[in-house]
Structure 1
């Protein structure tokens, strides 16, 4: 969806904003993966 937003607002958004948005999206993805892994570990750790 980020590419759609970039194409739509390409004349309004600066490169720095796009890079910042991409970085935030990557951070969100990484955090959700970490949370998922933490939950899986907790499930596996249960006796």
Structure 2
């Protein structure tokens, strides 16, 4: 039987290797904390 990777531990943050608050949209694969730190350098802007 082939094993499938499903659930929380299927992927982790590429910077800090944590498994919580994943941002996977657009293939970013960062946790929420790392995304907030790296968003300006990636090109995301915060609008009010």
Give TM-score, length-normalised by structure 2: 0.24
Question: Which has the larger share of strand?
Answer: 2
Greater RCO (Cα-Cα under 8 Å, separation 6 or more): 1
Question: Which has the larger share of helix?
Answer: 1
Give TM-score, length-normalised by structure 1: 0.24
Larger radius of gyration: 1
